[in-house]
């Protein structure tokens, strides 16, 4: 996928979802989702379990295609260009749209290998820059101080909270334009949650963040905009969206 020109960027929202519908073989999962997510925003998605929040997130980087049987209709534009257009490059899309899951998935290798995984895979930066890239990403994820003297140790020695920050650093290291976060702190203790929230706050304006959370207080602490999904007749749909967080308690 070609990078958009500057004028395309300034005209369009970072992400524009229009008439998005998702079906499983037996029923509709999401109904007519329309959302515009501005550049640099922290956008929170709330709603009950089963409303389709993860499904919606997985449509934005086309991970949904790894679930056999699910069918997607409608369109999603990233910086003004359809990600579902024929011929779009899914690997390039996933490099531009990173994702962080509820459970941190670290590999059995070293901390250094983990943080540089995407950078090596994509071959985007020369090897001499890797130490600098790793440090910056780990600093952005509030983990640098804890791991700087043990970069060659196994990532499996880290606590769950540290692992989630490592996953955040790994996602940030490839400098995605958009970061999707699916309940990123719900498996974490309060201190690790605070560390992740602080990192996300510092990313505001530099990246577009789309975060699923079940916690309205977390949305209030972090988000500029909120959309709430509800289930009606068995399918998830947008109940409301806007910037007034006081309305969604
Ligand atoms: N691969 C799939 N095949 C069939 N149904 C699915 C699949 N993935 C999700 N669903 C269904 O879609 C609905 C929404 O799921 P999900 O997006 O995980 O909700 P949430 O993240 O809001 O809890 C659920 O009823 C779930 O069972
Ligand atoms: Mg979910």
Whole-number Cα distances in Å, 237 to 47, 106, 226, 233: 10, 33, 14, 10
Residue nearest to atom 9 of ligand 1 (CA): 55
Give the distance (Å) from ligand 1 centre to CA of residue 50.
6
Band of residue 4 on the pLDDT scale cut at 50, 70, 90? low
Residue at 1 is within a domain: no
Residue at 222 is within a domain: yes
Give the distance (Å) from ligand 2 centre to CA of residue 209.
16
Whole-number Cα distances in Å, 107 to 98, 127, 154, 163: 17, 20, 9, 10
Q: What is the CATH number of the domain that holds 190?
A: 3.40.50.300
148-207 confidence digits (pLDDT tens): 999 999 999 999 999 999 999 999 999 999 999 999 999 999 999 999 999 999 999 999
Beta-ladder partners of 179: 98, 209
Question: What was the pLDDT predicted at 243?
Answer: 74
Give the distance (Å) from ligand 1 centre to CA of residue 139.
34
Question: What was the pLDDT predicted at 122?
Answer: 87
Give the distance (Å) from ligand 2 centre to CA of residue 53.
5
Residue nearest to atom 14 of ligand 1 (CA): 52
Does ligand 1 lie within 6 Å of residue 24's CB atom?
yes
Residue at 28 is within a domain: yes
Does ligand 1 lie within 6 Å of residue 235's CB atom?
no
Q: How much of the chain exceeds pLDDT 90, in percent?
A: 87
Give the distance (Å) from ligand 1 centre to CA of residue 99.
17
21-47 confidence digits (pLDDT tens): 999 999 999 999 999 999 999 999 999
The structural domain count of the chain equals: 1
Does ligand 1 lie within 6 Å of residue 57's CB atom?
no
67-97 confidence digits (pLDDT tens): 999 999 999 999 999 999 998 999 999 999 9
Instruction: For CA atoms 180, 182, 186, 189, give the dihedral sign.
Output: negative
Residue at 218 is within a domain: yes
190-203 vs 130-140: helix crossing angle, rounded to 10: 110
Residues lining ion ligand 2 (Cβ < 5 A) are 54
With a cut of 90, say whether residue 245 has pLDDT above it: no
Band of residue 2 on the pLDDT scale cut at 50, 70, 90? low
Residue at 131 is within a domain: yes
For residue 45, the ligand closest to its alpha carbon is: 1
Residue at 208 is within a domain: yes
Does ligand 1 lie within 6 Å of residue 70's CB atom?
yes
Does ligand 1 lie within 6 Å of residue 69's CB atom?
yes
The residue to mutate among 29, 54, 227, 231, having the most atoms of ligand 1 within 8 angstroms of its beta carbon, is 29
Does ligand 1 lie within 6 Å of residue 52's CB atom?
yes
Domain that holds residue 20: 6-248
Question: What was the pLDDT predicted at 123?
Answer: 86
Give the distance (Å) from ligand 1 centre to CA of residue 17.
19
Bigger pLDDT: 87 or 53?
53
Residue at 235 is within a domain: yes
């Amino acid at each position: 996928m070609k990078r958009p020109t500057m004028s395309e960027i300034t005209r369009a929202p970072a992400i524009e979802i229009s008439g998005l519908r998702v079906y499983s073989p037996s029923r509709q999962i999401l109904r007519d989702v329309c959302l515009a997510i501005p550049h640099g925003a922290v956008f929170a998605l709330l709603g009950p379990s089963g409303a389709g929040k993860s499904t919606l997130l997985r449509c934005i980087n086309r991970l949904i295609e790894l679930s056999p049987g699910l069918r997607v209709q409608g369109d999603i534009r990233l910086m003004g260009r359809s990600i579902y257009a024929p011929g779009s490059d899914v690997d390039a899309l996933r490099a531009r749209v990173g994702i962080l899951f509820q459970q941190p998935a670290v590999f059995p290798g070293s901390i250094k290998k983990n943080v540089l995984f995407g950078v090596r895979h994509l071959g985007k930066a020369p090897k001499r820059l890797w130490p600098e890239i790793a440090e910056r990403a780990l600093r952005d994820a509030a983990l640098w101080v804890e791991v700087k003297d043990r970069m060659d140790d196994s990532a499996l020695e880290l606590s769950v909270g540290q692992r989630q920050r490592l996953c955040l650093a790994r996602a940030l290291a490839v400098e995605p334009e958009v970061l999707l976060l699916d309940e990123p702190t719900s498996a974490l203790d309060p201190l690790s949650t605070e560390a992740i929230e602080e990192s996300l706050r510092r990313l505001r304006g530099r990246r577009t963040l789309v975060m699923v959370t079940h916690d309205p207080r977390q949305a209030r602490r972090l988000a500029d905009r909120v959309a709430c999904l509800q289930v009606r007749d068995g399918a998830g749909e947008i109940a409301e969206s806007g910037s007034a967080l006081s309305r969604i308690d």
